[in-house]
Amino acid sequence: MKIHKEGIKIIPIAFFTIAVVDVIVYIFLQEYLIFYPLMAASLILAGLVVYFFRIPKREIIKNENHVLAPADGKIVEVKEVVEEEYFKDKRLQISIFMSPLNVHQNRAPVSGEITFIKHHRGAFYPAFVEKSSHLNERCTTVFKDKNGVEVLARQIAGTVARRICNYKKPGDKTEQGVEYGFIRFGSRVDVFLPPDAKVLVEYGVNTVGGKTVLAEI
């Protein structure tokens, strides 16, 4: 396991902030019983910051007929919808909610070419709420496989998440299971599939990015 590059930027700032707070607590509260719980809480918080940016090593089993989960989390939506931004027709939507304790690296659901990327500024409703899909800050990425099938993955910020990172651009080639983005601190990823895709997951299932097979196409 290693620390994500986004963590290399944030962890030192977080540690410095925690250290400053600890010094203030020590100066003013060291003689009170609450001092020890506060010190313990600061250590736990520091550990959680590091834990959030972890990147576990995973063996990716590629299959051109499979759509892999782009994120760790829990399935909160499986339904047919009209996707209005890119396809503008009916699609199967699978939504994955990522809690702050999940790995927040996002992985390509299929191998192929990036044909579309668009970032939208927006609100910060809780990521598990349905309206977050079209009202929150979000970034849409479309992957086109060698057979011409397109899969759309939409990174969505949540109440705590305040930055969506996408490391690709239109025209880039990518491999299934390879990182294409990252979302800081709690979020959601919506995946839009062709209407005839065979969905292999259901509501409530926990997913592992790059491992769980969402559907066959």
CA 197/CA 134 separation, integer angstroms: 23
DSSP states of 80-113? EEEETTTT-EEEEEEEEEE-TTS--EEE-SSSEE
CA 137/CA 187 separation, integer angstroms: 10
Tokens of 159: 């109440």
For 192, left (φ over 0), alpha (ψ -120 to 50), or beta? beta
Write out the H or E segment, with its range, that includes residue 183.
Answer: strand 179-183
Of 111, 132, 133, 187, the catalytic one is 187
Any catalytic annotation for residue 99? no
By the 8 A CB rule, do 207 and 74 touch?
yes
For 88, left (φ over 0), alpha (ψ -120 to 50), or beta? left
For the annotated catalytic residues, the residue numbers are: 187
